[in-house]
Structure 1
Amino acid sequence: MTSSTDAGTTGTHASPHGTTPHVTDADASPPRLTRLTFHGPLSEARADRIVRRAAEPLLRASGGTVLDLGSGWGEVLLRVLEAAPGSTGVGVDLNGADLERGRASARARGLGGRVAFVEESATDTARGPADVVLCLGSAHALCPADAPPPYTADALRALRRLVAPGGRVVLGESFWQRPPTDTELAAMWPEASPDELLHLGDLTDAAVAAGFRPLWVETASAAEWEEFEAGYLADTEEWLASHPGHPEAAALRERADRHRATFLRGYRQVLGLAYLTLVPVATD
């Protein structure tokens, strides 16, 4: 799970996960996100349920297509393909390293001939319609860079265009669990605003207005968030403990400390991530 940023990101539009800290010496760099299965707050149990629901139209048709927008390494995409053996898929992202990880994972699982990972923008994509469309933490990738937030309504309209009749959309999108305080906003990503995101009811209403019925609405738990945030920094923290005198350690340490503070002092238990499984309404 990732966006066209570095993953899976949390789905925020100025995501704190947009750039993974790294050093310039490849031989000394910390491993990159090896503790994460999904690039977002998603447990194995929830992923299994989401995949099972997403695969339903593919199983009914004994095949079909899956489009993952802002796919990153496409773990959910690959699991949907495994659940529906006759299906094929495409993952679209701008992060070449994540795409290569997805290709390697597909080859290892015997899916290399059924999926392509493509380095391109999801904005105004000509791909689709697909039977299943995944957009997990990547709704902003569907909108022009100069579009004002919140992006949700525009992204949902794009997703409605990209899903085939009778298909499924799985949208992972950020929302405010409660109004953030000024102190919390100041600790978040640059220019964080209370108007940047919707609340959960408004997010679901926006999906209905865009031409969907919400088959399933669920939200990431506090435990899923903490597992994700710890895993996101774990490789970096272990590397810093072993390389305190490395020339790049100071900059890397500053970025890791800033990210941790952004979560613990800013968006922890304020920022939510909803997983909406959506069915397009038939047109007359």
Structure 2
Amino acid sequence: MSPAEPFPLYFPGDARRPFGSEAATRRFARVAQLEEGGRVLDLGCGPSEMGGVVLAQEFGCSVVVADSDESVLSLLRARVRSLALDGRVEVRRVDLSRPAFREGEFDAILCQGRVLMSLPDALSTLRPLLSRHGRLGVTYPVRVGRVTPRAVLEFWERRLGAPLLLPRELLLHLSQAGFEPEAVESLQDAELDALYRELEPHLLQVPAELATWLREEMALHRESGKATASYAFAVGRRREPGEKPPPARNRG
């Protein structure tokens, strides 16, 4: 097996991202029970970033939008100034693999549309930065449908350095890493088709070696004719050691 591509997985900075819509941000905010004054880290933001803006404008959150690319951050600083959000949105450059923040600093961390680290690394790195009962929202590839072609499974194992998970297995990993799983959603066929259709022109503008993995990913999707691998967005609440599980829901 060839080594996995270094994280974060390459994605053109100005292209549309999975779960990058304002509606997806609002869904996260509702699941995370964000309130005015809540402190949120929006990690791995893009130049057209709106997640942090939505959280600041509509939910009254204090947001740190962070990335490693200074050109992206310059555009974000200009947008924050134009919207007069300087006091509510802070733009900061960080090492995406080791973001330097205080333990318990954030009520929520949002990784929207970017796969910044392997799943185990993301959960272990970001959990300490959350306050008690803080929420984490992460994007990660999953397998969907009844049958996943071997070529798709092999591609993603090469890319991630680990087997491709089902959405329920993604939630299980959250649980094992000290989170109470609360929600998961994945892109459906039409959404994935639209994502790749809008992504393709951006790949023509970057060196071919940077786009190699994405081109293979898109080709495998189109060969199958439907989504057999997709992107999921999962939300988990930080669970404390010894915390009792939530009561079972009454289905009667």
Aligning the two structures, in what range does the TM-score lie when normalised by the shorter sequence? 0.7 to 0.9
- Whether 2:58 is the aligned partner of 1:83: answer yes
- Whether 2:134 is the aligned partner of 1:160: answer no
1:141-160 matches, cutoff 5 A: 141=117, 151-160=118-127
Percent identical pairs in the alignment equals: 23
**Aligned position for 1:94:** 68
1:226-241 matches, cutoff 5 A: 226-234=193-201
> Equivalent residue of 1:136, what SS?
coil
- Whether 2:99 is the aligned partner of 1:125: answer yes
Asked if structure 1 preserves the Cα contact closer than 8 Å seen for 2:110 and 2:136, the reply is yes
**Aligned position for 2:45:** 71
> Equivalent residue of 2:111, what SS?
strand
Distance 2:178 2:8 in 1: 31
Asked if structure 2 preserves the Cα contact closer than 8 Å seen for 1:16 and 1:262, the reply is no
In 2 relative to 1, CA 264–113 (structure 1 residues): closer, same or farther, beyond 3 Å? same
Runs (5+) with no aligned partner, structure 2: 243-252
> Equivalent residue of 1:195, what SS?
coil
Asked if structure 1 preserves the Cα contact closer than 8 Å seen for 2:110 and 2:137, the reply is yes
In 2 relative to 1, CA 106–260 (structure 1 residues): closer, same or farther, beyond 3 Å? same
Question: What do the CA deviations read for 1:123-160 (whole angstroms, capped 9, x no partner)?
Answer: 2323142011112344544xxxxxxxxx2123212222
Give the AA of the match of 1:270. T
**Aligned position for 2:30:** 52
Q: Deviation of residue 63 (structure 1)? A: 0.7
Give the AA of the match of 2:50. E
- Whether 2:111 is the aligned partner of 1:135: answer yes
Asked if structure 1 preserves the Cα contact closer than 8 Å seen for 2:22 and 2:50, the reply is no
In 2 relative to 1, CA 193–283 (structure 1 residues): closer, same or farther, beyond 3 Å? closer
Which of 182, 207, 211 is residue 215 of structure 1 equivalent to? 182
**Aligned position for 1:181:** 150
Which of 207, 221, 224 is residue 191 of structure 2 equivalent to? 224
Distance 2:5 2:143 in 1: 13
**Aligned position for 1:262:** 216
In 2 relative to 1, CA 139–256 (structure 1 residues): closer, same or farther, beyond 3 Å? closer
Distance 2:66 2:19 in 1: 20
- Whether 2:247 is the aligned partner of 1:274: answer no
Runs (5+) with no aligned partner, structure 1: 1-11, 21-31, 142-150, 240-250
Distance 2:230 2:153 in 1: 14
Q: Deviation of residue 93 (structure 1)? A: 1.4
Give the AA of the match of 1:122. L
Distance 2:163 2:157 in 1: 12
Give the AA of the match of 2:55. V
